[in-house]
Chain A
Amino acid sequence: MEQALEILFTASFWVAAIRIASPLIFATMGELICERAGVLNLGIEGIMTAGAFAGWFTVYSGGDLWTGVAVAALAGAMFGLLHATLTVPLGLSQHVVGIGVTLLATSLTYFTYRLALPQVTTPPKIEPFQPLPIPGLSKIPVLGEALFTQTPLTYLAFVTVAVVAWMLYRTPIGLAVRAAGENPSAVEAQGISVTGLRMGAVMVGSALMAVGGAFLTMSAFNSFFFEMINGRGWICIALVVFGSWRPGKALLGAILFAAFDAYQIRLQQISGGVVPYQVFLMMPYALSILALILVARRATYPKALMIPYQKGER
């Protein structure tokens, strides 16, 4: 029991939590932007897969790491464009399109992988992003180590949260995005194109999701393998709800979930096999559901979420 508590005070636990949180932060911000504009993007799981592959393959083929991130973002934006074209101007069901995009992006990624590397059985590794301790700050015990000995992509994740929050609440375009998710006819009546706004939001959001996927191959596992996204996209959908569609709260949610995950790995090691390991694997999800029930019951969701907007329709 004491051992179980001690884990919480080790720096290595918090370093791991922040690392595990990073891809979730990117993808959650991406989903949040889409939903704030009124589009539920269930393509997230597939877009993360595509981003993970695109980033890794760019570096594997000789590109540098940041080029890999850019290529991943571009791939994400393209799937975002597909999703947005079907859901925004054509007004198709966002559930069906989202699941379709996930299936398409995932299988297209696996197919490309097999075409590019036909003979390979063990996924090749790349040279990933290296930890970049921030001088001074990284010397703070526990907290400093956890936050400031990470890789550049993790720092970028935190910067993204700040940028998204500023964009949504402090800029005219953010105001328009939020209004598009609340009442698109208000946006139209003010002379702004709802279609343009929503498509832009879905593309930018999808690019962020893809960068989240790329984090896994370029800053965590160093190679690409099948099923590596492993439901992280779906978790991000829940994190957006958990965060009541607010960037700051969603960030906390991502860190909380990642902490559960890091904790259960360490608990497994000290439990000595008495409890089946599946129980520990389940723990973060069970706790997340509990947290959702407690936090998100009164969340005010964007009013026009999932409602297609057709100009001139009554």
Chain B
Amino acid sequence: MAASIGVEQGAPAQADIVLRLDGITKRFGPLVANNAISFTLRRGEVIALLGENGAGKTTLMNILFGHYVADEGTVEAFGKPLPPGDPRAALDAGIGMVHQHFTLAENMTVLENIALGTQSPWSLRLDRAAARRRIEKLSADFGLTVHPDATVATLSVGERQRVEILKALYRDARILILDEPTAVLTPAETDALFRTLKLLVAQGLSIIFISHKLNEVMAVSDCVLVLRSGTLAGERTTATTNRAELAALMVGQEVSSPPVSAPRTGPVVFELKNVSTARQGTTTRLDGLSLALRAGEITGLAGVSGNGQSALASLISGTLQPASGEMVIGGSAAGNWSPRAALASGIGRIPEDRHAVGTIGDMSITENVISERYATPRFSRHGFLDWKAARAFAEEIIRDYDVKAPSPEARIRLLSGGNMQKLILGRALDSEPAVILANQPTRGLDVGAVAFVHRRLLEARDRGAAILLISEDLEEILALSDRILVMSKGQLSSPSKRGERSIRELGELMAGHGEVNDAA
């Protein structure tokens, strides 16, 4: 691709090209993960690699970094061919990669993680002093504050990412690959990361930024490569494109937010009256919280995470018991509260962390979809599981919810995030629950999957479900909610109707300014 455009416009000087991928093809069995992909990266350039989950972005970068071996094609770094399948060669060529799932040893210190593999394995002494000096200099130069002697386990996600970037810089990386770097970051941490990236580019580093978030791609990149099902669907200069065009390239069609009809609000079906919970670890507890959810209405709960959302979600899903106060479901007080009781009282649950809580990664799709209701007569008889019914149910969800899965027997951890979420959605919505708890239902999903989840939630609303949507994504809250509440320091704001409060007003409430009303 001769069309890549760097920071400095003008004739592309050959010497400026730091990386050249030529005709990279990678197959996993029948699946073509990358199909003849070629591009070049120039000095001081930020290329964004945009694409939905499963479009082949990570595979491509893993080939570049030597974790995978391409079936066809070559990689050239600084004019020299890179031997395939050798991370060491990639590191030596000045390519550094910040993986989506960090590769840090948690029980070890920052310094140890960074120095790992940088000194001769046969030397009898690890030179900690030299490593510390270098780390401190790099931290200062690029605004990557982190204490060299801190144990990684004690660091926040943002700090861990800084350690990963330091690891690459410590080895004199000239090309930095960032795989979905913002997926785990708070907005403030994302801003800090972007500032660091600017400093790095100013030093002449080149960056490949993998993302499926359009606004971030627009903010940081010089040039955007769009991948769709393993092929390069388009290449655009950031300055001359727009989000709509990129979104269309990504999914292959125009995406539109689902139309929202006026709600047909029914009676209150779920109510918390002055409920308090015991403190769990460091999470914010609920203290005298009241909340009512009405049938046929989506209640959006906005707020910065860590303000009591997880306690509220645990309470509704049954994993946390109220310490005081009353919980009324469908007109009657909830008795002994447990996950089983929550399911029995018709609460559908879409948990925040689909890997840790929503699914059991090494069990099959079938086992996962019946996990909430395996003991019901539908799936078991006389204490024996009815695998035929279970499998039929799994196939039904796979079909109805458009899940891309090899078979109902596939281990669920092999699915992409979007497909996993669709299964969880199917599992939760199938029994037509009266109350639905959707906690961060679209976190980490691509545009197509987000639209799918939104449409299903609106359908559930229209059939009369009461939905509590907890999300950190304010745009999502604004798009779906009939009524918006803001949670701050364990307290709820007064409710506002659709369009009643501006983003600025909501933002102020999220920051903890303004009135609170505990009778929401």
Contacts and interface: CB of A to CB of B under 8 A. Distances in A.
B126 A312 contact: no
Interface in A170-195: 170-176, 178-179, 182-183, 185-192
Interface string A280-314: 00000000000000000000101100000001101
A191 B106 contact: no
- Residue in A171, A174, A175, A185 whose Cβ sees the most chain B Cβ within 10 Å: A175
B348 interface: no
A191 B87 contact: yes
B94 to A, nearest CB: 12
Contacts of A188: 67, 87, 103
A182 B105 contact: yes
Given A171-B123, A190-B118, A178 B414 contact: no
B122 A175 contact: no
Contact of A189 (B87, B112, B119, B414): B87
Interface in B88-109: 88, 90-92, 97, 99, 101, 103-108
Contact of B125 (A170, A192, A303, A312): A170
Could you say which of B87, B92, B106, B119 has the most chain A C-beta atoms within 10 Å of its C-beta? B87
Contact of B106 (A172, A176, A189, A303): A303
A108 to B, nearest CB: 33
A188 B126 CA distance: 19
A173 B103 contact: no
A312 B85 CA distance: 10
A173 B121 contact: yes
B167 interface: yes
Contacts of B124: 170-171
A175 B103 contact: no
A272 B112 CA distance: 57
B68 interface: yes
Given A179-B112, A303-B106, A190 B167 contact: yes
A182 B121 contact: no
B516 to A, nearest CB: 41
A178 B115 contact: no
A186 B113 contact: yes
Contacts of A182: 105-108
A179 B105 CA distance: 6
Contacts of B215: none
Nearest to A192: B117
A172 to B, nearest CB: 4
A17 B122 CA distance: 36
Contact of B126 (A175, A183, A314): A175
Contacts of A190: 87, 91, 116-118, 167
A176 B117 contact: yes
A172 B119 contact: yes
Contacts of B62: 312
Contacts of B126: 170-172, 174-175
A52 B120 CA distance: 35
Given A171-B124, A172-B120, A186 B68 contact: no
Nearest to B164: A189
A303 B90 CA distance: 27
Contacts of A185: 99, 101, 103
Contacts of A191: 87-88, 90-92, 117
Interface string B149-173: 0000000000000000001000000
Contacts of B118: 172, 190
Contact of A175 (B104, B112, B413, B414): B112
A172 B104 contact: no
A176 B414 contact: no
B414 A183 contact: no
Contact of A183 (B92, B103, B123, B125): B103
A186 B118 CA distance: 13
A311 B122 contact: no
A174 B68 CA distance: 27
Nearest to A174: B126
Given A187-B117, A312-B68, A314-B414, A172 B123 contact: yes
Interface string A181-219: 011011111111000000000000000000000000000
B336 to A, nearest CB: 31
Contacts of B116: 172, 175-176, 179, 186-187, 190, 192
Contacts of A300: 107
B88 A178 contact: no
A162 to B, nearest CB: 13
Nearest to B119: A172
A191 B90 CA distance: 8
A171 B126 CA distance: 4
Nearest to A178: B108
B117 A311 contact: no
Nearest to B123: A172
B83 to A, nearest CB: 12
A258 B357 CA distance: 46
Given A175-B112, A191-B88, A186 B103 contact: yes
B226 to A, nearest CB: 24
Nearest to A172: B119
Interface in B260-293: none
A176 B106 CA distance: 13
Contacts of A189: 87, 97, 99, 103, 167
Counting chain B CB atoms within 10 Å of each CB, which of A178, A187, A191 scores highest?
A191
A128 B389 CA distance: 71
A186 B101 CA distance: 10
Contact of B121 (A172, A178, A314): A172
Contacts of B113: 179, 186
A314 B101 CA distance: 10
Nearest to A173: B121
A283 B414 CA distance: 50
B510 to A, nearest CB: 35
Given A172-B121, A183-B106, A191-B87, 14 more contacts: A172-B117, A175-B108, A179-B108, A182-B105, A183-B103, A185-B101, A186-B105, A191-B88, A191-B92, A192-B121, A302-B107, A303-B106, A311-B67, A314-B413
29 contacts: A170-B124, A170-B125, A171-B124, A171-B125, A172-B117, A172-B119, A172-B121, A172-B123, A175-B112, A175-B115, A176-B117, A178-B108, A178-B112, A179-B105, A179-B116, A185-B103, A186-B103, A186-B113, A187-B116, A188-B87, A188-B103, A189-B99, A191-B87, A191-B88, A191-B92, A303-B105, A303-B106, A303-B107, A312-B62
Nearest first, the 3 closest Cβ-Cβ pairs linking A and B are A191-B88, A190-B117, A182-B105
Interface of B: 62, 67-68, 87-88, 90-92, 97, 99, 101, 103-108, 112-113, 115-126, 167, 413-414
